[in-house]
Structure 1
Amino acid sequence: MLRVGLTGGIGSGKSSVSALLAGHGAVVIDYDLLARQAVDIGSPALVEIAARFGDAVIAADGSLDRPALGALVFADPAALSDLNAITHPEIGRLAAAREAGAAADAIVVHDNPLLVEMGAADRCDVVVVVDVPEDVQVQRLVSDRGMSETDARARISAQASRQQRTDVADLMIDNTGPLDELARIVGGIWDELESRAG
């Protein structure tokens, strides 16, 4: 099994790369999905979040009110650190369970926006970083996700820096071009991963 860490800042296009790798045959473990499962209604992590941040972050149906929690943690590094201490161990456990279900010869892609922040790069055989300049991230978040420029920059600054990501990268993907160019680049990355797995 080849364990691949895939990461990139918000708005970098990491999800597009992940989908392309899945199309080539990778087993993709989606950490955004795991992060949602980790805080499902009734989960120990959700109980801990309510205890730490108060009932204001719990919606009427008992689920996590993500926008309310986001407003708290993205403005306060200490609060974000507390949230990560609650959720990261559970996300890691879920990821390990998914990986254990993959075939012995699989290329398993850990699609993790917080690979650097979770200290998980060392546990990967290969780290692939999707990279774009910060101004491109901001422009995409404003146009594609309807964020204000201030919110977009706050989200970006709450994540690892470009330098921190490139420091752990084995392979880099520049995703400033069009989608057909990205597909060609990812095809080359897949060939490289297959050769390393072999």
Structure 2
Amino acid sequence: MTTAATTPWILGLTGGIGSGKSAAAERFVELGVHLVDADQAARWVVEPGRPALASIVEHFGPAVLQADGQLDRAALRQLIFTDPAQRKWLEQLLHPLIGQEIFSYLAKGRSPYAVYVSPLLIESGQYRKTQRVLVIDVPQTLQVARTLARDHTSAEQVQAILQAQLPREERLHHADDVVVNDGDLGHLHAQIDRLHNFYLTLRGGQP
């Protein structure tokens, strides 16, 4: 049985679009840290055989399934896109399940601390379930340039995403630690490595 002494404390990792969250997360994994991604967990809870998928099919009908029994995300998106009430129903079903999935997975970690990566860590309120928050920060001009290069999207779309996300100042307000990712990958890794060594000295996420 897991005891409080062996359960890892949880570091919440977040940042705006194009900030380099994924590269930071990969470095933590390379360092042997137990990590879960919110998007990953959202996929787990709707896998075939899971209760959430059965509830979705019961509610929306078999048209939301692919031939192999997997959830047809595009079909489901189409159904909820134009109907706020249906979207709310789906969120109320999935959000608690995703939260349970994430935190039960994190508690099984063998490392002294575990990392939970979420672009909406602050907005969703899930930062309250973490012991410490790390924000990957980057100047907005660099956010735009990186996202344009990575996603081959338009500048207008990137601006729309930035507008929809939490303002940078508010995200930083919730941070216990900040990594400014305005250099190359080596520069990012050096900052993560330094924080990792610091985190290994913490008990429960606090000095």
Provide TM-score, normalisation by structure 1.
0.79
Distance 1:82 1:11, change over 3 A: farther
Partner residue in 2 for 1:16: 23
Partner residue in 1 for 2:4: none
Greater Cα shift, 187-196 or 31-40: 31-40
Q: Is the 8 A contact 2:112 2:200 kept in 1?
A: no
- Distance across 1 between alignment mates of 2:120 and 2:81: 14
Distance 1:23 1:76, change over 3 A: farther
- Distance across 2 between alignment mates of 1:126 and 1:139: 29
Query: 2:131 aligned with 1:125, yes or no?
Result: yes
Which of 8, 30, 33 is matched with 2:40 structurally?
Answer: 33
Which of 7, 11, 31 is matched with 2:14 structurally?
Answer: 7
**1:76-127 per-position Cα deviation (integer Å, ceiling 9, x unaligned):** 9998766544432121111122123223x62111112211122111221211
Gaps of 5+ in 2: 1-7
Partner residue in 1 for 2:148: 142
Letter in 2 for 1:33: Q
Alpha-carbon distance, 1:150 to partner? 2.5
Provide TM-score, normalisation by structure 2.
0.76
Sequence identity (%): 36
- Distance across 1 between alignment mates of 2:81 and 2:193: 35
Structure whose residues are more often helix by fraction = 1
Distance 1:39 1:19, change over 3 A: same
Partner residue in 2 for 1:102: 109
Query: 2:116 aligned with 1:116, yes or no?
Result: no
Letter in 2 for 1:95: I
**1:30-50 per-position Cα deviation (integer Å, ceiling 9, x unaligned):** 222112222335655456667
Query: 2:162 aligned with 1:188, yes or no?
Result: no
Alpha-carbon distance, 1:153 to partner? 2.5
Gaps of 5+ in 1: none
Partner residue in 1 for 2:5: none
SS at match of 1:160: coil
Greater Cα shift, 172-181 or 33-42: 33-42
- Distance across 1 between alignment mates of 2:160 and 2:13: 22
SS at match of 1:117: coil
CA RMSD of aligned residues (A): 3.1
Query: 2:99 aligned with 1:92, yes or no?
Result: yes
Distance 1:51 1:137, change over 3 A: farther
Aligned length: 197
Larger Rg: 2
Q: Is the 8 A contact 1:74 1:158 kept in 2?
A: no
Q: Is the 8 A contact 1:129 1:165 kept in 2?
A: yes
Alpha-carbon distance, 1:146 to partner? 1.8
Distance 1:96 1:125, change over 3 A: same
Distance 1:163 1:3, change over 3 A: same
